[in-house]
């Protein structure tokens, strides 16, 4: 059995936990978030298509058609802004979901780590504090104190 120490924990984190976080971040930053890189161009394309579908055949240089073309141009701008707003909302909703996913990954490892420590460092004989940590055991007087006494006012002189 290996003595519990910080090196074991650091090695475990490097070998088991960090690769999961790196993999998660690679998927999110390289594959998922780039889908939002072009939403400005997509919004413009959406507005232009909307304008063409509504104002097809109108000539803004013709004085009789100018008002109608201007109306559809304003509406196309509104459509472009609304579409942009929707895409930005989707982006931030996605970032929020990825943040929750990252927290959940942390939570899984955080709850698993004590179990891994326990499994790797289980003793079949009584644990001697000095042998495991290098610290001296508590005195018999400290061992006899109740937790209520400690909470009520700390250690009292005999």
Task: Indicate the SS3 state at residue 40.
Answer: helix
Average the pLDDT over 54-60 and give the result: 77
Contact 145, 151 (CB under 8 A): no
CA 116 to each of CA 2, 10, 95, 129, 133: distance values in angstroms, whole numbers, following the listed order: 13, 13, 31, 20, 18
Average pLDDT value for residue range 18-44: 91
Q: Is the pLDDT of residue 141 over 50?
A: yes
Judged against a pLDDT cut of 90, whether residue 30 lies above it is answered with yes
Give 100's pLDDT tier (boundaries 50, 70, 90): very high
Domain residue ranges of the chain, discontinuous segments joined by +: 6-124
| Average pLDDT score over the chain | 79
Q: What is the mean pLDDT of residues 33-46?
A: 89
Neighbours of 105 (CB within 10 A): 15
């Amino acid at each position: 059995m290996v003595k519990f120490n910080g090196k074991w924990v650091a090695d475990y984190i490097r070998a088991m936990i960090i690769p999961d976080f790196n993999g998660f971040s690679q998927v999110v930053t390289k594959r998922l978030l780039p889908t939002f890189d072009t939403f400005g161009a997509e919004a413009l394309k959406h507005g232009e298509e909307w304008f063409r579908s509504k104002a097809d055949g109108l000539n803004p240089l013709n004085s009789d058609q100018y008002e109608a073309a201007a109306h559809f141009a304003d509406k196309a701008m509104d459509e472009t802004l609304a579409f942009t707003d929707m895409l930005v909302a989707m982006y931030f909703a996605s970032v929020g979901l990825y943040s929750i996913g990252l927290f959940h990954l942390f939570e899984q490892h955080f709850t698993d780590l004590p179990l891994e420590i326990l499994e790797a460092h289980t003793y079949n004989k009584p644990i001697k504090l000095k042998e495991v940590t290098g610290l001296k055991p508590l005195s018999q007087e400290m061992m006899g104190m109740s937790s209520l006494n400690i909470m009520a006012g700390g250690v009292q002189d005999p």
